[in-house]
């Protein structure tokens, strides 16, 4: 699998978060991970993401609300536009904020309630340029009823809902009588659909390109979602 090929080289991530305790916690999780992940602490200084060691980190872990109640979508957009792989890490769980981050091209959205099992997995996925969908994001995608949302199949919705509810892919697979790999495929398809309707960012084009290569989505399906808009 792709994870095995990535395991050879050390992943570097930079975290921007004004809470020292959060940074310390993430640092601990990264050092305990096998293989460990090298974490650079930028504190609340966004400049350290653009210059110095932070500038070459594989993954950016971005606290959306460095200023309370003012989510910094502009900075997220700039990071994505310059080809960075971004994980949004926020206390916020309201669906509109979550969906907006995905639309802007964040590869993962994690709430701070979601622990190392999701954060470490999300960092590894992002380092490969792949999206990671944690249960909270899955819940937001199910509840998304904005007019521009992509049309999901009934099975995709079922998988998303079950993943949000159980937060265990084994349980989802057992409940829906499918394999864990199929569960992942359905979730990945949903993310590709979202990437397709969102802004044309570099990481997103990569994402759609890879989905086409892997057969997750066909050209016909791509055209179908576009005509629905």
Interface residues with other proteins (CB under 8 A)?
93, 95, 113, 135-136, 139-140, 142-143, 145, 161, 164-168, 170-171, 174-175
Laid out side by side, the sheet with 108-111 consists of 38-41, 12-16, 59-62, 85-90, 108-111
- Please tell me what DSSP assigns to residue 35: S
Q: Select 9 or 94, whichever has its Cβ closest to other proteins.
A: 94
Q: Which is nearer to other proteins, 166 or 185 (CB)?
A: 166
Burial of 226 (0-12, 13-18, 19+ CB in 10 A): exposed
- Smallest separation, CB 139 to other proteins (Å): 4
Q: Which residues of 109-124 are buried (b: 16+ CB within 10 A; e: fewer)?
A: bbbbebeeebbbbbbb
Start-to-end C-alpha separation, the chain: 35
Tell me how far, at minimum, the Cβ of 100 lies from other proteins, in Å: 16
**Smallest separation, CB 82 to other proteins (Å):** 32
Closest approach, Cβ 141 to other proteins, in A, equals 9
> Which lies closer to other proteins via its Cβ, residue 45 or residue 175?
175
Q: Least CB distance from residue 135 to other proteins, whole Å?
A: 8
- H-helix or E-strand containing 14? strand 12-16
| Closer residue to other proteins, CB minimum distance, 95 or 103 | 95
The widest CA-to-CA distance across the chain, in whole angstroms, is 49
Please, which residue, 8 or 147, has the CB nearer to other proteins?
147
């Amino acid at each position: 699998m792709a994870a095995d090929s990535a395991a050879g080289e050390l992943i570097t991530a930079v975290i921007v978060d004004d809470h020292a305790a959060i940074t310390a916690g993430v640092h601990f999780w990264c050092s305990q991970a096998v293989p460990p992940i090298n974490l650079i602490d930028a504190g609340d200084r966004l400049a350290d993401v653009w210059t110095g060691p932070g500038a070459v980190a594989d993954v950016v872990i971005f606290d959306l609300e460095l200023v309370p109640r003012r989510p910094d979508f502009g900075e997220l957009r700039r990071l994505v536009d310059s080809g960075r792989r971004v994980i949004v890490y926020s206390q916020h769980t309201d669906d509109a904020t979550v969906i907006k981050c995905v639309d802007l091209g964040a590869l993962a959205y994690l709430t701070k309630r979601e622990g190392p099992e999701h954060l470490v997995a999300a960092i590894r996925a992002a380092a490969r340029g792949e999206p990671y969908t944690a249960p909270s994001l899955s819940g937001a995608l199910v509840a998304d009823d904005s007019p521009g949302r992509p049309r999901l199949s009934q099975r995709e919705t079922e998988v998303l809902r079950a993943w949000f509810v159980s937060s265990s892919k084994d349980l989802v697979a057992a409940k829906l009588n499918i394999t864990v790999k199929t569960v992942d495929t359905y979730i990945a398809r949903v993310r590709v659909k979202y990437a397709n309707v969102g802004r044309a960012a570099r990481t997103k084009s990569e994402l759609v390109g890879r989905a086409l290569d892997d057969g997750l989505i066909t050209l016909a399906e791509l055209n179908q979602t576009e005509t629905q808009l």
